[in-house]
Amino acid sequence: MLWHGNRAPAVAGVGRLPVSLWHSTQESASRSTWSPGVGDVGAARPVRHAWPVAPDFPENVLLPRLAWLLGPEGAAAVALAARLQGDGTDLLPGLGRLRAEVGADNAGAAWELARLRARARPVFGADADVLFFTADTLEQAGRPRLAERRAARLLAGGADSVADLGCASGTDTVALARAGARVLAVDVDPVARELTAANAEALGVADDVWVVAGDAVELVAAARGGEVAGCGAAVLDPARRAGGRRQLDPDRWSPPWSTVALLLDRMPTCVVKVAPGLDHDRVPDGVEAEWVSVGGSIVEALLWGRAVSSTWRRATLVHDGEVHEMTADADPGPATAGPVRSWLHEPDPAVIRSGLVSLVAADLDATLVDPTIAYLTSDARAGTPWVSSYRVDEVLPFNLKKLKALLRERGVGRVVVKKRGSAIEPETLARRLRGDGARTATVVVTRVAGAPTALVCSAPSGGSPRAGEG
For residues 1 to 30, the per-residue mask of contacts with ligand SAM, x marking binding by CB under 6 A and - elsewhere, is: ------------------------------
Among residues 130, 202, 217, 222, which is the contact residue for ligand SAM, using CB under 6 A? 217
Alpha-carbon distance of 408 to 439, in angstroms, equals 10
Please, what is the minimum distance in Å from the beta carbon of residue 180 to ligand SAM? 19
Question: Near ligand SAM by CB under 6 A, which window of 115-123, 150-158, 186-194, 438-446?
Answer: 186-194
Among residues 110, 120, 187, 308, which is the contact residue for ligand SAM, using CB under 6 A? 187
Please, what is the minimum distance in Å from the beta carbon of residue 221 to ligand SAM? 11
First-to-last C-alpha distance (Å) of the chain = 35
255 forms part of the interface with ligand SAM (CB under 6 A):
yes
Among residues 215, 288, 290, 370, which is the contact residue for ligand SAM, using CB under 6 A? 215
Among residues 11, 17, 178, 189, which is the contact residue for ligand SAM, using CB under 6 A? 189
CA atoms within 13 A on the CB side of 98: 31
Identify which of residues 95 and 141 has a Cβ nearer to ligand SAM in the complex: 141
DSSP strands (E only) in 412-450: 412-419, 439-448
**Which residue is nearest to ligand SAM, using beta carbons?**
166
168 forms part of the interface with ligand SAM (CB under 6 A):
yes
430 forms part of the interface with ligand SAM (CB under 6 A):
no
Contacts of 138 (CB under 8 A, 6+ apart): 116, 119, 120, 169
Please, what is the minimum distance in Å from the beta carbon of residue 1 to ligand SAM? 23
Other C-beta atoms within 10 Å of 33: how many? 9
Task: Check: CB of residue 273 under 8 Å from CB of residue 142.
Answer: yes
Q: Which of 27, 361, 55, 36 is nearest to 186 (CA)?
A: 36
Please, what is the minimum distance in Å from the beta carbon of residue 281 to ligand SAM? 23
188 forms part of the interface with ligand SAM (CB under 6 A):
yes
60 forms part of the interface with ligand SAM (CB under 6 A):
no
239 forms part of the interface with ligand SAM (CB under 6 A):
yes
347 forms part of the interface with ligand SAM (CB under 6 A):
no
202 forms part of the interface with ligand SAM (CB under 6 A):
no
Contacts 24+ apart (CB under 8 A), 285-288: 288/312, 288/313, 288/314
Please, what is the minimum distance in Å from the beta carbon of residue 123 to ligand SAM? 11
460 forms part of the interface with ligand SAM (CB under 6 A):
no
* Amino acid at residue number 4: H
> How far, CA to CA in Å, does 277 sit from each of 237, 240, 249, 298?
15, 12, 10, 10
274 forms part of the interface with ligand SAM (CB under 6 A):
no
Among residues 254, 311, 327, 458, which is the contact residue for ligand SAM, using CB under 6 A? 254
Task: Check: CB of residue 299 under 8 Å from CB of residue 330.
Answer: no
> How far, CA to CA in Å, does 451 sit from each of 37, 270, 412?
59, 45, 25
443 forms part of the interface with ligand SAM (CB under 6 A):
no
94 forms part of the interface with ligand SAM (CB under 6 A):
no
Please, what is the minimum distance in Å from the beta carbon of residue 184 to ligand SAM? 12
Q: For the CA atoms of 219, 220, 224, 227, what is the dihedral angle to 10 degrees?
A: 80
**Does the CA dihedral 189-191-194-197 come out positive or negative?**
negative
Identify which of residues 53 and 151 has a Cβ nearer to ligand SAM in the complex: 151
Question: Near ligand SAM by CB under 6 A, which window of 22-30, 82-90, 117-125, 210-218?
Answer: 210-218
For residues 137 to 166, the per-residue mask of contacts with ligand SAM, x marking binding by CB under 6 A and - elsewhere, is: ---xxx----------------------xx
> How far, CA to CA in Å, does 409 sit from each of 289, 397, 438?
48, 17, 12
Please, what is the minimum distance in Å from the beta carbon of residue 466 to ligand SAM? 25
- DSSP-assigned states of every residue in 185-246: EEES-HHHHHHHHHHHHHTT-GGGEEEEEE-HHHHHHT-BTTBBTTBSEEEE--B-EETTEE
Other C-beta atoms within 10 Å of 38: how many? 25
| DSSP strand pairing (367-370 vs 343-347) | unpaired
Identify which of residues 213 and 364 has a Cβ nearer to ligand SAM in the complex: 213
* Amino acid at residue number 134: T
172 forms part of the interface with ligand SAM (CB under 6 A):
yes
Q: Which of 308, 221, 315, 227 is nearest to 272 (CA)?
A: 308
Find the farthest-apart pair of alpha carbons in the chain and give their distance in angstroms, rounded.
82
292 forms part of the interface with ligand SAM (CB under 6 A):
no
Question: Near ligand SAM by CB under 6 A, which window of 113-121, 215-223, 277-285, 386-394?
Answer: 215-223
Alpha-carbon distance of 264 to 9, in angstroms, equals 31
Please, what is the minimum distance in Å from the beta carbon of residue 40 to ligand SAM? 23
Site for ligand SAM, rule CB under 6 A = 140-142, 165-166, 168-169, 171-172, 186-189, 192, 215-217, 237, 239, 254-255
